[in-house]
Structure formats: structure tokens, C-alpha cells
Amino acid sequence: MPSKKNQAQVKNVEFYKSFHQSNVKERWSKQAIEKLFDLPFNDLLFQAHTIHRQNFDANTVQLSTLLSIKTGGCSEDCGYCPQSARYSTEVENTPILNIDEVIKSAQSAKAAGATRFCMGAAWRGPKQRDLDLVKQMVREVKALGLEACATLGMLKEGQAEELKEAGLDYYNHNLDTSPEYYGDVISTRTYKDRLDTLDRVRAADIHVCCGGIVGMGESRSGRVGLIHQLANMEHPPESVPINLLTQVEGTPLMGTEELDHFEFVRTIAIARITMPQSFVRLSAGRESMDDGIQSLAFFAGANSIFYGEELLTTGNPNTEKDQSLFKRLGIKSN
């Protein structure tokens, strides 16, 4: 009998094929994206930077701060995540933060220069009592003059509308990887589950924040498949976080061969070319990159970062280091 992972993989690929045959009008074919990946590095970056300048101020980066409002104890089996209850990591299952703690963190983020405050919870999906508390948090964040973003897992019918009514600006729900590779990483929710939540967010008129993680052992075709999915959404995400896997002891993906940072920058550049009007966020994994690689990523079209010393449960460059790099590069933040 096929393993649970293999069963999930087959189910995801079958859905992907039927979905594309019936619904998707391709703006970008896989072959076109493959050709971008095959370009000489300088040619690719020149093309990406040209497109970036046509749509954005090339010397401005948007700053978001991410706070874990509910850490650990998640029932999902995402192979990269130390918050899964299935893995033995140093992340403890803790209760949801109270409103005062969230307000204090949001105030600190604003004082440090962030314009968007993102709240993440380690849930498969929020229960109504959890959602009611998150809605209060959203209102308090908005009252500070910040944009509000949340990532709470899968949403049921009506929940996105409740978040919209509370004032939520962005909802993050990543595809993580291509449909073909997805079953190697996750078996407890399907690709269709993810797309259903994104459809609910879009229908509620909330901005979509959706990207993925590279360096999880996928081939280049897996990165092609991720970009193919994102770029061919009916409305591409307003925000596209590109994460580099941060390996955590105790998770199944610990020990995965590390992705070449130049390949990561290629992925940033291709996200910019294929989604020219989206914010492309240089997200998790920045702590492993030197200033030169991050600078190349900004040149390639990244114009958003997570700002602050921690991303949910993993490290991130501190604000002073980021500001120093911005000063050396002549980059403004907003």
C-alpha cells in the first residue's frame, strides 16, 4: 500500500491536472518559466530589475513584522515546521497571547519602522473563540495606524468575511511548493485545501499574501511549478513571500542539502518578472545570507522583508543590522 505521503502526492497531482485543464488561463507556461531559470545570471537580473523599476521605486523596501500569537502544538505534519506536535523540537506548545501583549509588540514594531504587523498562529484552522480574539487584535493593530495581516491556517466559510469586517488587510496562506512535490512535504492538508482558503480570502476582498519555501529538497522543476502556480492565479497575490528553508533540529527536513543562494536569488528574480505588480518579500532564511546575497535579492526585485529578530520561532537579522544595510545601499523603508 502506498505511504500516506505518496497518497497525498497522487491526490495533489490529480487535482492539479484537472484544475488546470478546466480553470486556468496561463499567463506563464512552465516552459517559459524554465527558460527564465536557464538564463545567464546577469541577463536574468537585468530583466528582473528593469521590470521592477517599471512598477516600483527600486530603492524602497516595505517592512513587516511577524509575531507568533499562538506557538506550537499544531496538528499538521509540515516537514519544515518546528511547531508541529508530531516532531520533537525545542518549540513548546503555549497558549494564545493576550491582547495587551500583542498591542505592546505592535507598538514596538511601529516604533522600529514597520508598516505592517502580521500575526501568526499554529493552528490547522481557527475555532470561533480563537477568531473572535484575533478580530480584537486586528482592531487594535489598525487603531495604531498599521496594516494588519494574519496567518491562521485554513479558513471555513464565513471566517474571511469576519476578518475583513474587523479590518484585516492581508491574509497569508502559502502554497509552500509545487503540486508535484507537495506530498513529499505535507500529508495532512491538500493543495486544494490551500487554494480553497485563498479563494475565500479573495472573495472577502482581503489582500492575498501567498508564496512558498525553496530549498526543501525540491528540484528546479519544483521551483518552476511553484512560480507557475502563483503567477497563473486569476489575481496574482499582492504579496509574494519567498522563503529559504530554515532547518530546525527534530523536523523531517533537517539535514536537507542547502540550496545555492544564487538559485534563491534566481527565484526572487523570476517571481518579480512573472508577477510584476506584486510585492516580493525576502522572507525566512535571511539570517543565513550575507549582505551581498541580500543586496542581489533587492536588485532582483525583492521589495519587502520581515523586520525584527524573530520569525515565529526562527531567527531573523536584528533591526539595527537591517538599517545598516539599507543605509549602505541607499534604500528607504516604508
Residue 172 phi/psi, 5-degree rounding, is -95, 130
Query: In sequence order, what DSSP letters do the residues of 262-284 get, joined into one string?
Result: HHHHHHHHHHHHHSTTSEEEE-T
**By CB neighbour count within 10 A (0-12 exposed, 13-18 middle, 19+ buried), where does 134 fall?**
buried
Round to whole Å and give the CA distance between 327 and 329.
5
Please indicate, yes or no, if residue 142 is contained in any of the structural domains. Answer: yes
- The reported pLDDT for the residue numbered 209 is 96
- The reported pLDDT for the residue numbered 10 is 52
Query: In sequence order, what DSSP letters do the residues of 126-188 get, joined into one string?
Result: --HHHHHHHHHHHHHHHHTT-EEEEE-S---TTHHHHHHHHT--EEE---BS-HHHHTTT--S
**pLDDT tens, per residue, the chain with 334 residues:** 345 555 555 555 555 545 444 455 789 999 999 999 999 999 999 999 999 999 999 999 999 888 999 987 788 888 888 888 788 787 778 888 999 999 999 998 898 888 899 999 988 889 999 999 999 999 999 999 999 999 999 999 999 999 999 999 999 999 999 999 999 999 988 899 999 999 999 999 999 999 999 999 999 999 999 999 999 999 999 999 999 999 888 888 888 999 999 999 999 999 999 999 999 999 888 888 999 999 999 999 999 988 765 444 544 557 788 888 999 999 998 7
Assess whether 281 carries a catalytic annotation.
yes
Please indicate, yes or no, if residue 74 is contained in any of the structural domains. Answer: yes
Q: Domain range holding 306?
A: 4-17+28-333
Closest CA to 298 of 334, 320, 330: 330
- The reported pLDDT for the residue numbered 4 is 53
Residue 327 phi/psi, 5-degree rounding, is -65, -45
Please indicate, yes or no, if residue 198 is contained in any of the structural domains. Answer: yes
Q: What is the phi-psi region of residue 330: left when phi exceeds 0, alpha when psi lies from -120 to 50, beta otherwise?
A: left
Q: How many domains does the chain contain in total? A: 1
- The reported pLDDT for the residue numbered 2 is 41
Please indicate, yes or no, if residue 133 is contained in any of the structural domains. Answer: yes
Assess whether 74 carries a catalytic annotation.
yes
- The reported pLDDT for the residue numbered 73 is 78
Select which of 149, 194, 200, 286 is catalytic: 149
Please indicate, yes or no, if residue 41 is contained in any of the structural domains. Answer: yes
Please indicate, yes or no, if residue 224 is contained in any of the structural domains. Answer: yes
CATH code of the domain covering residue 251: 3.20.20.70
Q: State the DSSP code for 196.
A: H
Please indicate, yes or no, if residue 23 is contained in any of the structural domains. Answer: no
Cβ neighbours, 10 Å, residue 102: 22
Please indicate, yes or no, if residue 22 is contained in any of the structural domains. Answer: no
Assess whether 210 carries a catalytic annotation.
no
Select which of 189, 200, 202, 209 is catalytic: 209
Select which of 116, 200, 202, 281 is catalytic: 281
CA dihedral (291, 294, 299, 304) positive or negative: negative
- The reported pLDDT for the residue numbered 22 is 46
